[in-house]
A and B are shown apart, each in its own frame.
Chain A
């Protein structure tokens, strides 16, 4: 065990004995996400560095404190990337934070989520044990898939120390098309196109415009561009747009930040892609072929939760002022009774003394 990891283990053992608890900290770029932070910070950044990268194996193993930017730069040198396009809320974002938050970008519907690309992980649990699950290979069904549960776990099961991720070649060609249409029409088009073998890699609708990204082999992208029509957006401009959308620096999110200052909240609704346009006040940005709806709205939590549940999905209070009433009631959608029980029991199984990230995901965890 190296010195940085040994120090973390020691901190956890000491805190556990003294009934202390921690909030796990990386770059701190997602402190806004989830329920209120509790406990003393425990910094994972000393646990940094790429452990191994073999482009022909399509796998990179990287320690959790490594800056995401460093990882992406390394992959870029070999023409590869993280296909799920994780958002970067600041230059300090770490790989561990990316996995713990489990957020994916515009390519999610086509390329899959963080969890889909997680092959293995080393976890420091609440008993101070360092455990490795999964591995560095694509197919692995030895025992429960504990590494994948860490994606989106918000640190409640322990400290993610190292992860192995599946990486993929970056597409050789991309094209971006623009269509003027209302939301209902955009959803209709997306559902129809989705049923065809088209290389659609991302979509976004906001304010009467549907933006579509194609990516893949040159021949496939060119054929699809001809078939779909629309107005082609020039490469550099398109790249800026998709980067901005991914990192939430796009105009919709800039406006949302201002609205949040004025008391509104930014909600993320995960719904079936075929859900109709949601009848709620405020601006809506539709991504993932209709499966992700961003809402910047003054509407109360109950209205959002009800609309999401009625559509067969769930609503997350993504960003709000700290003193926003709904934030203290919990950011994440309430769970069914059996799922809530499994959450409590899993917390007990991994972190019986609640050493890590108390309440960050759900109050009782």
Chain B
């Protein structure tokens, strides 16, 4: 321990020296109020929505113009300093966790809606514009922006693009990827670049598909052109309760098998239902083992037809109770429970860890039953919400971070869920991103050659590796270390997973 002290002192001195150099370089491109480096000023930037991981950045840059973004990137590139782009900071995987020796590029000031056009059904917005603000701006034209992550009141479109954010209406309306036409931004060298186009396609390789979901690893985004869709004339929601998780899972498959693509199809398990009902009083059935929300939207005739068919299917699958929203107020009340699942969980537990794996829909009951067994194994409780329509699961593991053993067990519990999801043919993250949180789980999902291909792709955009370093793709060394830990602990299975 003692031997580490001089090294720490040296580290501190090196950090201070580097900070001076970076501040001097950035002062040349930013006004004084747009540059923070004193400890007390940079504290608010030390984490994103994944609060268990914190790191104070070396410097925070708050540019106000694209020229300043370019200037910051050019300066950092010349110095070989890491840059971590940050939007609203609501991300749940630590994608915006600062780098100890890097610059956090906070883009909150890019909050202008540039244009909203009815004829082309397109909105051009700066990256810091909130998701919900786009729909609010488009509402007078009878249009809206479809992807609606639960954090839509706070999260920004730049972050949505970086994470390929989803929401509760993805099955019918797609992910962020399907609703973005063009992204404007800067390369790591500070050169302006546009991905995609105002047409429905662009020349060459579809690099827009790479940028969406790239978690700030390939370029910095400053402006986004999104597709708007006409607001449906009517939306109605069915709330159906089941006395058995398996029956609810079968009902989801039966709806799809009937040729119906609902606008939303969500599931909550019993503990989750209890937590949200106590919080928002949405009128949920507290006796249900599983609760389904099935939404239909479109013309009144279309909605009537689809609701009737869904009621038939749900009844056939053994729904105990079904209620159809009578008006918009009741529909929003039904959704209020689902949309408040995370804060409701925050009320019943000091801390919770939110998982985000996706599985084939048919394995829904299997994974929920596996999670129930894990609750016993790790001696922690877990509530589940599920984007049932697209197979995306959000188990919320309840724990107390003040108890290191609980935190440790929660992490093991989470990793176990992710690896079980991969075994079932799914993926470790459906919409929250890998960030820092799921790096180790990436070792399980991808082979060394696949990970090396992703690292090579990263180098194609960022040869020095200074854009958001250390996120998304684990190094070979890290995966080797993770493999060893697995075997030593003997707590988790580590089978040679079959690839598909």
Residue among A116, A288, A338, A362 facing the most chain B CB atoms (10 A cut-off): A338
Q: B residues 386-440 with Cβ under 8 Å of A? A: 387, 389-392, 425-434, 438
Task: Give the residue name and chain of the A residue nearest to B165 (CB).
Answer: A141
Given the complex of chains A and B, what is the CA–CA distance between A334 and B233 in angstroms? 43
A49 cross-chain contacts in B, Cβ below 8 A: none
- Asked whether A339 and B391 contact (CB < 8 A) given A116-B174, A129-B449, A273-B120, the answer is no
Q: A residues 109-151 with Cβ under 8 Å of B? A: 109, 112-113, 115-116, 125, 129, 131-133, 135-146, 148-149, 151
Mark interface residues in A326-345 (1 if CB within 8 Å of B CB, else 0). Answer: 00000011111111001101
Nearest CB of chain B from residue A170's CB, rounded to whole Å: 8
Q: B residues 426-475 with Cβ under 8 Å of A? A: 426-434, 438, 442, 445-447, 449-451, 453-454, 456-461, 463, 472-473
Q: Is A94 an interface residue (CB 8 A)?
A: no
Given the complex of chains A and B, what is the CA–CA distance between A143 and B459 in angstroms? 14
Q: B residues 126-178 with Cβ under 8 Å of A? A: 141-143, 163-164, 166, 170-171, 174-175, 177-178
Which of the residues A54, A79, A135, A337 comes within 8 Å of B427, measured between beta carbons? A135
Interface window among A23-31, A201-209, A214-222, A250-258: A214-222
Given the complex of chains A and B, what is the CA–CA distance between A198 and B202 in angstroms? 27
Task: Give the residue name and chain of the A residue nearest to B361 (CB).
Answer: A57
**Size band of the interface chain A makes with B:** 35 or more
Which of the residues B359, B390, B449 comes within 8 Å of A131, measured between beta carbons? B449
Q: Is B365 an interface residue (CB 8 A)?
A: no
Given the complex of chains A and B, what is the CA–CA distance between A170 and B392 in angstroms? 24
A270 cross-chain contacts in B, Cβ below 8 A: 197, 199-202
Q: Is A46 an interface residue (CB 8 A)?
A: no
B472 cross-chain contacts in A, Cβ below 8 A: 143-144
Given the complex of chains A and B, what is the CA–CA distance between A102 and B202 in angstroms? 11
Q: Is B306 an interface residue (CB 8 A)?
A: yes
- Asked whether A144 and B214 contact (CB < 8 A) given A56-B362, A129-B453, A219-B305, the answer is yes
Q: How many residues of B contact A (CB 8 A)?
A: 100
Residue among B206, B214, B259, B459 facing the most chain A CB atoms (10 A cut-off): B206
Which of the residues A108, A142, A346 comes within 8 Å of B442, measured between beta carbons? A142
- Asked whether A339 and B434 contact (CB < 8 A) given A135-B427, A144-B454, A195-B119, the answer is no
- Asked whether A102 and B206 contact (CB < 8 A) given A143-B472, A172-B259, A274-B120, the answer is yes
Q: Is B209 an interface residue (CB 8 A)?
A: yes
Q: Is B481 an interface residue (CB 8 A)?
A: no
Cβ of B204 and Cβ of A335 under 8 Å apart?
Answer: yes
Q: Is A325 an interface residue (CB 8 A)?
A: no
Nearest CB of chain A from residue B322's CB, rounded to whole Å: 21
Q: A residues 143-174 with Cβ under 8 Å of B? A: 143-146, 148-149, 151-153, 156-157, 168-170, 172
Q: Is B98 an interface residue (CB 8 A)?
A: no
- Asked whether A141 and B230 contact (CB < 8 A) given A131-B447, A195-B143, A343-B205, the answer is no
B429 cross-chain contacts in A, Cβ below 8 A: 140-142
Interface window among B34-42, B295-303, B488-496: B295-303
A336 cross-chain contacts in B, Cβ below 8 A: 193-194
A116 cross-chain contacts in B, Cβ below 8 A: 174, 177-178
Task: Give the residue name and chain of the B residue nearest to A218 (CB).
Answer: B305
Cβ of B178 and Cβ of A137 under 8 Å apart?
Answer: no
Nearest CB of chain B from residue A302's CB, rounded to whole Å: 16
Given the complex of chains A and B, what is the CA–CA distance between A218 and B389 in angstroms? 23
Q: Is A90 an interface residue (CB 8 A)?
A: no
Task: Give the residue name and chain of the B residue nearest to A190 (CB).
Answer: B119
Cβ of B206 and Cβ of A144 under 8 Å apart?
Answer: no
Q: Is A260 an interface residue (CB 8 A)?
A: no
**Chain B residues in the interface with A (C-beta under 8 A):** 117-121, 141-143, 163-164, 166, 170-171, 174-175, 177-178, 187, 191-195, 197-207, 209-210, 212-214, 217-218, 230-233, 253-254, 256-257, 259-261, 298-299, 301-302, 304-306, 358-362, 387, 389-392, 425-434, 438, 442, 445-447, 449-451, 453-454, 456-461, 463, 472-473, 499-500
Besides A59-B360, A135-B426, A144-B457, 11 new A-B residue pairs in contact (Cβ under 8 A), listed by A number:
A57-B362, A125-B453, A138-B358, A144-B218, A149-B206, A192-B119, A197-B298, A223-B299, A314-B201, A314-B203, A345-B463
Q: List 18 A-B contacts (CB under 8 A).
A: A56-B257, A57-B360, A129-B449, A135-B426, A137-B425, A139-B175, A141-B164, A141-B434, A146-B210, A148-B177, A148-B209, A191-B119, A194-B121, A197-B299, A219-B304, A272-B199, A274-B120, A337-B191
